[in-house]
Amino acid sequence: STVWLGWGSKFGKNLKVFAIDPHIGSSEHIQRFGKIDTFNEFLQNIKAQKLDDIVVPLRCTSYEASTILKEPVELIFIDGAHEYDMVKQDFELWFPKLVEGGIMAFHDTDSYKRDGPRRVVEEFLYKSQFFKDVRFVDSIKYGKKVARNSRLDRIKNHYSLLLLRFRIVIAAKIHLPKTLRKIGKKLINFLQL
């Protein structure tokens, strides 16, 4: 995901991308693989993509990085520990640093099993007074920070949440062939306001 963010920045404003990760894995990785260290492989990937001039790796936790980084943030992509309290902490640490008009995005937000990201997104993006244009692309949800959203923004955000729940239920209950799945995805994207 950092590679895509890096390329996005290269094709856009060429701003630095701070990649925050202690590189020791989240609880689900440690359970599955034991002790891990992904830092060197991460650095190699960034170098191979010639993104080392844009990507600044910060080998630390989200909390530690939030005490170091003082600059305003235009886009934050949250994809760290997936427990509810940890995702909520990420939201609380980075929301104040996000500029008005900035985008906050979360990954892995569809799951009802490991549901931390999904719950945080529902509470703090879809039902918030400080976000508008809350939308989804697959399991990524994102919204634009505003000083205070309007009643119409809140109605649109709730409508988008209903659409999302509908999509999750249909995807879980009905097995559609690949082509129909693709058409359904396009239709739901089209229906997002």
Ligand X SMILES: C[S@@+](CC[C@H](N)C(=O)[O-])C[C@H]1O[C@@H](n2cnc3c(N)ncnc32)[C@H](O)[C@@H]1O
The helix (run of H) or strand (run of E) holding residue 81 is: none
Q: Which is nearer to ligand X, 62 or 157 (CB)?
A: 62
Q: How far is the CB of 80 from ligand X (least distance, A)?
A: 3
Q: Does 1 bind ligand X (CB under 6 A)?
A: yes
> Which stretch, 17-25, 68-76, 134-142, 173-181, contacts ligand X (CB under 6 A)?
17-25
Rounded Cα gap, residues 190 and 169, in angstroms: 18
In the region spanning residues 54 to 113, those forming contacts with ligand X, defined by CB under 6 A, are 61-62, 79-81
Q: Does 20 bind ligand X (CB under 6 A)?
A: yes
Rounded Cα gap, residues 49 and 145, in angstroms: 31
Residue 38 contacts residue 30 (beta carbons within 8 Å): no
Residue 146: Cβ-neighbour burial (10 angstroms; 0-12, 13-18, 19+) = middle
- Characterise 102 by phi-psi region: left (phi > 0), alpha (psi -120 to 50), beta (else): beta
Q: Does 21 bind ligand X (CB under 6 A)?
A: yes
Q: Which is nearer to ligand X, 21 or 110 (CB)?
A: 21
How many residues touch ligand X under the rule CB under 6 A: the total is 14
Q: Does 43 bind ligand X (CB under 6 A)?
A: no
**Contact residues for ligand X, defined by CB under 6 A:** 1, 20-26, 38, 61-62, 79-81
